[in-house]
Amino acid sequence: SSKIRNTEIQTADDVAVLEDCTDYSLAKTINKIEEELEKGDLPDCLDDDIIPSAGNEIGAETQIRFLKAKLRVMQEELDNVVCECRKKEDENENLKSQLKDTVEENARLQRTISLQQSQAEKYKVLSQEASKKSEGLQQEVVALEKVLH
């Protein structure tokens, strides 16, 4: 993730950006390219490092098969990345749920600690009062013993 944050975002006019990934389909893209090829609407840009250097020496159908294979591989890679993203999203949701539970448990334990501390203070005060009362009663016993002797 640090690599992602540190890379500069570059834009180019010749980069295809999907506006809505939910409607993206490799089959639709291939069909569109085939239709454009049949109409002759495709630009002559087949030698832009997509096809290896031998690409100039092979026919158009071979180039199309090569590009289709490359598209299938890229679609598989995209599917794998999407699957990985979904797994990470599920993991994030689970972690968020665990965090929420932990925060709630922490709050409950803090309330319990606070209650126990106040009870400890209360019993400490009661103990001190009982000790003072005991001392007073012992002094009374000593005084009464002196009176009896």
Contacts of 66 (CB under 8 A, 6+ apart): 51, 55, 58
How deeply is 58 buried, as exposed, middle or buried, from its count of CB atoms within 10 A (0-12, 13-18, 19+)?
Answer: middle
pLDDT per residue as tens digits for the range 1-45: 443 443 334 434 444 444 444 455 667 777 777 777 777 665 555
pLDDT of residue 34: 74
| Plot region of 53 (φ>0 → left; ψ -120 to 50 → alpha; else → beta) | alpha
pLDDT per residue as tens digits for the range 72-81: 999 999 999 9
- In this prediction the pTM is 0.46
